[in-house]
Amino acid sequence: MTTHIQRSKKWVYEFIIGYNLCPFAKEPMDKKEVNWEVIQDFAAVEKSIETFLDSSFKTSFFIFPALATFEEYLDVGYWVEDLIESIGYGEVLKVVHFHPEHLFGGLEMNDAVNFSNRSPYPMLQLLRESDLEALEMTESWKQKILDRNATLLNDLGYKKMTNILDEYRK
């Protein structure tokens, strides 16, 4: 297993699950229903998507360590979303974006809320829409999670969040 995957798994267990940022992350991690893949060759992405869809994994993380900037990452992220749409899986998969410099529109770079989608490396998470629908998550439930995360991350603060994330890159 690569260092990128080891550090990313540690980030999910200790940060995402540890701070309960995603109340649905623990079960698939504990059951080893998460696929982890380091993507170096973009030509392999379509095959990786199809392999994930043919598997019993609940989610898949594509880690892109070679992407140097947030802008490059966004370009690749949008390309993957377009690829998913073009091969007919637009209604089947949801893509979640994570990056060390993730920035939500309308927020400042030093807003701690950005850390809900900041990760040790640039990565995309694929989720099956059917699994999300099975959770029966209402918009008010989703908003409660987002509000709780915003409060928690702002209470922890930008400096502490930066230090925490930096630990997963060492």
Distance between alpha carbon 80 and the CA centroid of its chain, in Å?
A: 14
Residue 54 lies in a domain: yes
pLDDT of residue 1: 53
pLDDT above 90 covers what percent of the chain? 84
Residue 150 lies in a domain: yes
Residue 57 lies in a domain: yes
Closest listed residue to residue 76, CA positions, set 110, 43, 29: 43
Residue 169 lies in a domain: no
Domain holding 118, by residue range, is 3-164
pLDDT of residue 38: 96
pLDDT of residue 161: 95
Residue 170 lies in a domain: no
Tens-level pLDDT at each residue, the chain (170 residues) = 589 999 999 999 999 999 999 988 999 999 999 999 999 988 899 999 999 999 999 999 999 999 979 999 999 999 999 999 999 999 999 999 999 999 999 999 999 999 999 999 999 999 998 888 887 777 888 899 999 999 999 999 999 999 999 999 87
| pTM listed for this prediction | 0.92
pLDDT of residue 140: 84
Parallel, antiparallel, or unpaired: how do β-strands 34-38 and 93-98 relate?
Answer: unpaired
pLDDT of residue 111: 94
pLDDT of residue 2: 82
Q: Given phi > 0 = left and psi -120 to 50 = alpha, else beta, which region is 106? A: left
Residue 28 lies in a domain: yes
Distances (CA, A) of 83 to 58, 87, 90, 97, 157: 20, 6, 9, 15, 37
Distance CA 14, CA 26 (A): 10
- Count of domains in the chain? 1
Closest listed residue to residue 98, CA positions, set 21, 19, 33: 21
